[in-house]
Amino acid sequence: MSAAHDDFEDVKILDNFYQTSSFFPMPVVLVGTLAESGQTNLGPYSLCFPHVVSGQHAMMLIARGTSNTAANLRRTGVASLNFIPDDRAFLENCVILGFPGETTEEKMKNSVFTVLPSRREAPGAGPFPNIVAEAVQVFECTWDRSHPHETHGLEHHYLLRIERIVMHAKWRKALLEGGEFPRLPIDYGYRDSMHFWFTKGRKPWPVDLPRGHGVDAGTVMYQANRIDPEVTWQPEACAELAGVPRVFLKTVLTGCVDRAKAAGVKVITPEFLHQLRDKRAADRAAPLSLLAKLKQVFAKHDAPGTP
Ligand SMILES: Cc1cc2nc3c(=O)[nH]c(=O)nc-3n(C[C@H](O)[C@H](O)[C@H](O)COP(=O)(O)O)c2cc1C
């Protein structure tokens, strides 16, 4: 079918339009929360997305207010978001765990998942829900109670602050060094009277980013925290470097990290970048942009790196 093919027809927009009136790709997240008994309740949720583009680390979970998950969140404020791999048996079990109306004790008898203790370290806080051993990665979260959760309908919106992300060693290595990425399932949105539909998480394939433009803060963050495991970058520091031409990014970041290590600094903050800038600016009469100054500071790394 050519891109210009024009036989679009209207589709009636029904309730739950993402399931009834469209094909809508979504994640499959097993949300772990604490039941009153202390047992971890696992409920499958697809309306679970990053809530901000950059800066804050938060997820939005949309759940019926009467679900076990919602009740547990309101009572305890803590959740584990378990991203299960693309495996038919796991997805079949998710659909079983997604049948509304059962108590935690009843439904968890049917769970095929193995649970492990939370990896959160919060002295004096807790308890926290268990995490799912089979998950590719887990976001351990705390509900931000300052964000309104009640809506006019049956659903609630829970803003979950990400406190910790844990990932199996193999996938963490792939995240840092590249290689084979995990296969994650996609809830296809569409649902008929008989089935949930999922589609295979196929082998991920790359598409080049446009060349020649300055990089955004997210790209800076991605690169920055891969330069050296002993030096981390605050998001605000990465934001300061947004706009750096792609060909200079690695050079600038490596220069900052080298200087941080030389100074015994483990976390690069905007203040640290300003110190680097000011050190150089002290010798200069005219004020320069941070980028120009950093480029001068790191002139010795003047061979453009491959981002
Ligand atoms: C793949 C899948 C995705 C689902 N996504 C959602 C969702 O995003 N929001 C929601 O309220 N219910 C969703 N459900 C239905 C809930 O899983 C269902 O209400 C279940 O009873 C929740 O479990 P809980 O009561 O233990 O929280 C989904 C079900 C499945 C199988």
Per residue in 150-187, pLDDT (tens digit) is 887 889 999 999 999 999 999 999 988 888 999 999 99
62 lines ligand 1 (CB under 6 A): yes
**Annotation: CATH topology of 17-199:** Pnp Oxidase; Chain A (2.30.110)
How many whole angstroms separate alpha carbon 217 and alpha carbon 201?
A: 28
For residue 28, give both structure tokens.
């499959």
pTM metric for this prediction: 0.77
Q: Whose CA is nearest to atom 31 of ligand 1?
A: 95
pLDDT at 164: 96
CA atoms of 63 and 43, how far apart (whole Å): 10
Cβ neighbors of 145 (< 8 A, separation 6 or more) are: 77
**pLDDT on residue 132:** 98
Residue nearest to atom 5 of ligand 1 (CA): 45
Ligand 1 atom closest to Cα of residue 72: 27
User: What would the pLDDT profile of 192-220 be if each residue is shown by its tens digit?
Assistant: 889 999 998 788 888 876 666 678 888 88
Ligand 1 atom closest to the Cα of residue 155 is 11
Of 138, 131, 127, 148, whose CA–CA distance to 65 is shortest?
148
CB 93 less than 6 A from any atom of ligand 1: no
Mean pLDDT of 73-97: 97
pLDDT of residue 307: 33
Contact 60 CB / ligand 1 (< 6 Å)? no
Is there an atom of ligand 1 within 6 Å of 98 CB?
yes
Q: Give yes or no for residue 73 having a pLDDT over 50.
A: yes
Residues 224, 226, 229, 231, Cα dihedral to 10°: 0
